[in-house]
Amino acid sequence: MESAEVARRFLKFFEENGHTVMPSASLVAEDPTLLLVPAGMVPFKPYFLGQRTPPAPRMTSAQKCVRTPDIDEVGKTTRHATFFQMLGNFSIGDYFKEGAIPFAWELLTRPQAEGGFGFPEEKLWVTVLQDGDKVDDEAIDIWHNKVGVPLERIQRRGLADNYWHMGVPGPGGPCSEIYYDRGPEFGREGGPEADEDRYLEVWNLVFMQEMLSEVRSKVDFDVEAPLPAKNIDTGMGLERMAAILQGVDNIYETDTLRRILDRAAELTGTRYGSDGRADVSLRVIADHVRAGTMLVSDGVRPGNEGRGYVLRRLLRRSIRNLRLLGGQDAGLMHELTDVAIKAMGEQYTDLIRTAANIHTVIDAEEEAFLQTLRTGTTIFDTAVEETRRTGGKVLAGDQAFKLHDTYGFPIDLTLEMAAEQGLKVDEDGFRRLMTEQRERAKKDAREKKTGNLDVSVLDELLTSAGGKVDFIGYNSVHGEARLVGVLVNGANVPAAGEGADVEIVLDRTPFYAEGGGQLADHGRIRFGNGAVVDVHDVQSPLTGLIVHRGRVRVGEVQVGDQAQAEIDIERRHAISRSHSATHMVHAGFRRALGESAAQAGSENSPGRFRFDFTASGAVPASVLRDVEDEVNAVLINDLDVRAFHTSIDEARSMGALALFGEKYGDEVRVVEIGDYSLELCGGTHVAKSGQLGLVKVLGESSIGAGVRRVEALVGIDAFRFLAKENVLVSQLAEQLKTRKEELPERVSGLVTRLRDAERELEKLRSQQVLAVAGSLAEGAADVNGVAFVGHRAPDGTGADDLRKLAVDVRGRLRGRPAVVMVAGAPKDRPVVVIAVSEGARERGLKAGALVGLAAKTLGGGGGGKDDLAQGGGADTGKIGEALAAVERAVGAA
């Protein structure tokens, strides 16, 4: 039974039993305390806590999940994986144990021909909670008396096994786990307590009934209170279930992962099962490529922080393991990503639709990392040389961290390469620095999203607002409202006085919260008692919650006060023009470059916008001009701009563009600009395209692997830019005594003559530098039997000339052990080049090590080969000290 069929049967069974099928939420967690969704119940957490009204009391889903705490174990075992799918059924205050247990038993034991999984009843064991004298007798009674499981196949286990929580404050409760007996060939008898390799957990039924306030460990936590209602949360790992139903030993041999694994083996000329180390690499590749593909599909981009860091690490571990297996060529990740898309596409059709965008992102990351490997290897060699020179046997933690943080070098690659050189790595120091960096990144991301608020406070505000703040800003720029929450320094307070910095929540508001690339509205909130709050930012840290950040300018505001909310109309109009212009430029680029030019981010600010999109390379200037011309030609037609709500399926059938990586509900808002642009969008827009006035594209640039950024002006800002440009062109034409239309040719001629003159000057400078080579060789000092030349070239001498001079002098000392050091300051920063003859190398003198010594004196770094190396620094005043340090090192050899 294929994985897609396992999911289909599960969802169909529960749909037939009154459950609403919920689509998988994005891997990008809505919960601000989480980077990614780690469990199937996460999207349902607000319903369990009573914070939101569920769409139905009974629900079921197949949820995408990613867990990375054990990423280093992936591949080493067949149990660990980063991406997995969790099948679950959920009851919010509807049925409890008496319903969940029979449902699970029926689906597992129903014959496959009748839509079940066909497990023999005698192969199934169950566990229930027993914590001290506390035994889940209710579950035991249902399992034994209602379902018919013999008591000898019901085992009682402690909190570590049969109590479930998320590891953080939140909902929890006792659970009952169902195990499948794979047979005596897999281990000893005695049920799950005896051997969990033989008895494999297939389903966990969580009886969620408690709110936990503190969670110190799996078994050490505080129960704050009962949940508002008793709930059911179950989790069945799709991959593990597929392994059992497909008769394979582990998840890596199931249909989806095995397809990726086999293709990786084929591309690298290996065979799974023939070599232990190769098998580890193949499992890493299969898991990480699938996980990376799913993350990119949900809009995550490779980066150095947060989710981007998780994705980058997964992709780079894949590439690195491909290279370990002999896969040196670029393009291997493209092949494997294609297999992953096809393997998962039946369950997640968006993968097929956005395949070109996924390939663009992953291909670019592969290309960037292959270059990183080349650069990082050189830096690693220098670090090894420096460690050996000082007699050390351990590569410093800060050096390993620099390799990782600056050059993207994986720590496991550093460890392996160091071992090959007979060195160890200070892993504790490295991991300490990594932990510090990640904590900073998490803190920054959390504070940016929540305004440094405690999440429980956000939940309180959302409850005070009735579960959702009513946004009226599409049709109104002002409106009456009631103040339902006030925060000062993150604390919920009943009132705030003049001068206080506040975060306030109204029951309804015209203020647009920053989102979808659109900046927040500014404005004022006036109260009946004369108090006024100036609003300078608006955020939505939780779905449905709108928080106004500002300062009380006059009077005192109190919870319950009536208010009049007024946005800055001019700012709103300017931002709306930018947002509509972004839609049109997006449409223009897709017409010019194809569907792979998918929006990957934007910022719509007053009079200016930027638009990020996926692309494999730079966009030609001619394309930029064509898109700009097309958009402005369309503006003249003054197209109607219309926004309306419809179903996601209807929107797609109309051809509405869903942004790559964004996830939408059943009902969506569509923004239509005539017949030119049709997109799903929650932002504000102009009424007619002619209101944009003018769009001026300023240029484009790279902002990361596979992502380009276009910046542009709109409206009066675009006009002012062009007016200023016209003045500058007029001034330049007057200076050069030529007509405006002849400026390009005239400037080109001047640039050509200037370059010719610079080349001639460079030639003369080079000749002057090399002219001293003979005298330097003749004046070489004898340092412990080695001819040593230490020379400081005139400031401004280029690095190429320094290298030529060092090599020339070394050549004139042919037949003698010689070390030639030439230093200079080409651009107000010191550069040092050292050339070492064969005779000196035989005495243990190496250019790379000597350059490292000199560069350290200069406050920098460097490296190279044993015969020729180059380095640099920051302190030109220490060139003399660097020359002396190298001479001493030569003398000590």
pTM for this prediction: 0.65
**DSSP category for residue 511:** P
Q: How far apart are CA 659 and CA 647, in angstroms?
A: 16
Residue type, 279: D
Q: What percent of the chain has pLDDT over 90?
A: 55
Please check whether residue 688 is in contact with residue 639, taking contact to mean a CB–CB distance below 8 angstroms.
yes
Give the orientation angle of helix 306-324 with respect to helix 332-344, to 10 degrees: 120
Please check whether residue 490 is in contact with residue 457, taking contact to mean a CB–CB distance below 8 angstroms.
yes
Query: Mean pLDDT throughout 128-155?
Result: 92
Query: Is 579 marked as binding a ligand?
Result: yes
Q: Alpha carbon of 833 to those of 224, 380, 655, 793, 854: distances in Å?
A: 68, 20, 61, 11, 9
**Dihedral of CA 305/307/310/311: which sign?**
negative
Please check whether residue 686 is in contact with residue 576, taking contact to mean a CB–CB distance below 8 angstroms.
yes
Angle at 372 between CA 391 and CA 378, to 5 degrees: 30
Q: Residue 665's pLDDT is what?
A: 64
* pLDDT at residue 464 greater than cutoff 80: yes
pLDDT in tens, 720-736: 998 998 898 889 888 88
Q: Residue 770's pLDDT is what?
A: 76
Q: How far apart are CA 239 and CA 234, in angstroms?
A: 15
Q: Residue 467's pLDDT is what?
A: 82
Longest dimension (CA), the chain: 104
pLDDT in tens, 429-440: 888 887 887 676
For residue 46, name the pLDDT band (cuts at 50, 70, 90). confident
Q: Residue 661's pLDDT is what?
A: 52
* pLDDT at residue 448 greater than cutoff 60: no
Q: Residue 892's pLDDT is what?
A: 87
Q: How far apart are CA 109 and CA 534, in angstroms?
A: 63
* pLDDT at residue 659 greater than cutoff 70: no
In this structure, what are the phi and psi dihedrals at residue 231, rounded to the nearest 5 degrees? -130, 160
Q: How far apart are CA 227 and CA 256, in angstroms?
A: 39
Query: Assign residue 577 a region: left if phi > 0, alpha if psi is -120 to 50, beta otherwise?
Result: alpha
| Most confident option among 68-77, 413-422, 765-774, 864-873 | 864-873
Please check whether residue 889 is in contact with residue 853, taking contact to mean a CB–CB distance below 8 angstroms.
yes
More confident residue, 768 or 757: 757
Which secondary-structure segment (H or E) carries 579? Answer: helix 569-593
Q: In this structure, are strands 170-181 and 199-215 parallel, antiparallel, or unpaired?
A: antiparallel
pLDDT in tens, 293-327: 999 998 888 887 788 889 988 998 899 889 888 88
For residue 445, name the pLDDT band (cuts at 50, 70, 90). very low
Residue 464: strand, helix, or coil: helix
Q: Residue 614's pLDDT is what?
A: 83
Among 193-207, 471-485, 653-667, name the one with the lowest average pLDDT.
653-667
For residue 860, name the pLDDT band (cuts at 50, 70, 90). confident
* pLDDT at residue 449 greater than cutoff 60: no
| Most confident option among 441-445, 562-566, 654-658 | 562-566
* pLDDT at residue 613 greater than cutoff 60: yes
Q: Residue 667's pLDDT is what?
A: 82
Which residue, chain included where needed, has tokens 């030439």? 822
Angle at 722 between CA 719 and CA 724, to 5 degrees: 110
* pLDDT at residue 446 greater than cutoff 60: no
pLDDT in tens, 267-301: 999 999 888 889 999 999 999 999 999 999 988 88
Q: How far apart are CA 115 and CA 123, in angstroms?
A: 19
Q: Residue 729's pLDDT is what?
A: 86
Q: In this structure, are strands 20-22 and 58-66 parallel, antiparallel, or unpaired?
A: parallel
Domain layout of the chain by residue ranges:
3-253, 255-447, 475-567, 572-723, 773-892
Q: 62 is written with which tokens?
A: 């197949």
Please check whether residue 558 is in contact with residue 483, taking contact to mean a CB–CB distance below 8 angstroms.
yes
Q: Residue 362's pLDDT is what?
A: 92
Q: DSSP states of 797-864 as a string?
A: --HHHHHHHHHHHHHHTTTS-EEEEEEE-TTSS-EEEEEE-HHHHHTT--HHHHHHHHHHHTT--EEE
Q: Residue 885's pLDDT is what?
A: 92
In this structure, what are the phi and psi dihedrals at residue 161, rounded to the nearest 5 degrees? -105, -30
* pLDDT at residue 791 greater than cutoff 80: yes
* pLDDT at residue 662 greater than cutoff 80: no
Q: Residue 690's pLDDT is what?
A: 93
The b/e string for 98-117 (b: 16+ C-beta within 10 A; e otherwise) is ebbbebbbebbbbeeeeeeb
Q: How far apart are CA 238 and CA 65, in angstroms?
A: 11
Query: Is 478 marked as binding a ligand?
Result: no
Chain length of the chain: 893
More confident residue, 98 or 734: 98
Task: Report CA 557 to chain centroid distance, whole Å.
Answer: 40
Looking at domain 572-723, its CATH class is alpha beta
Query: Mean pLDDT throughout 585-613?
Result: 88
Residue 40: strand, helix, or coil: coil
Q: How far apart are CA 55 and CA 23, in angstroms?
A: 12
**What is the CATH T-level fold of the domain 3-253, as seen in this structure?**
BirA Bifunctional Protein; domain 2 (3.30.930)
* pLDDT at residue 453 greater than cutoff 60: no
Give me the residues paired with residue 503 across strands: 487, 549
Q: For the domain 773-892, what is the CATH code?
A: 3.10.310.40
Give me the residues paired with residue 712 across strands: 609, 697
Q: How far apart are CA 316 and CA 299, in angstroms?
A: 18
Q: Alpha carbon of 636 to those of 557, 623, 630, 695: distances in Å?
A: 48, 20, 10, 11
Terminus-to-terminus CA distance in the chain, angstroms? 71
Q: How far apart are CA 268 and CA 72, in angstroms?
A: 22
In this structure, what are the phi and psi dihedrals at residue 479, rounded to the nearest 5 degrees? 180, 160
pLDDT in tens, 340-397: 999 999 899 889 988 988 998 899 889 888 887 777 777 888 888 888 888 888 888 8
3-253 and 475-567 share one fold: no
Q: What dihedral do alpha carbons 632, 634, 636, 642 form, nearest 10°?
A: -120
Q: Residue 604's pLDDT is what?
A: 93
Looking at domain 475-567, its CATH class is mainly beta
Give me the residues paired with residue 668 across strands: 646
Please check whether residue 671 is in contact with residue 640, taking contact to mean a CB–CB distance below 8 angstroms.
no
Query: Mean pLDDT throughout 764-777?
Result: 81
Q: Which long-range contacts (CB under 8 A, 24 or more apart) does 412-415 make?
A: 412/72, 412/317, 412/320, 413/320, 413/373, 414/380
Task: Report CA 597 to chain centroid distance, whole Å.
Answer: 20
Q: 320 is written with which tokens?
A: 């690195």
Among 39-53, 61-75, 100-114, 548-562, name the one with the lowest average pLDDT.
39-53
Cβ-based burial of 674 (10 A; exposed 0-12, middle 13-18, buried ≥19): middle
pLDDT in tens, 25-37: 999 887 767 889 9
**DSSP category for residue 689:** G
Q: How far apart are CA 239 and CA 412, in angstroms?
A: 27
Q: Residue 282's pLDDT is what?
A: 95
The overall average pLDDT reported for the chain is: 89
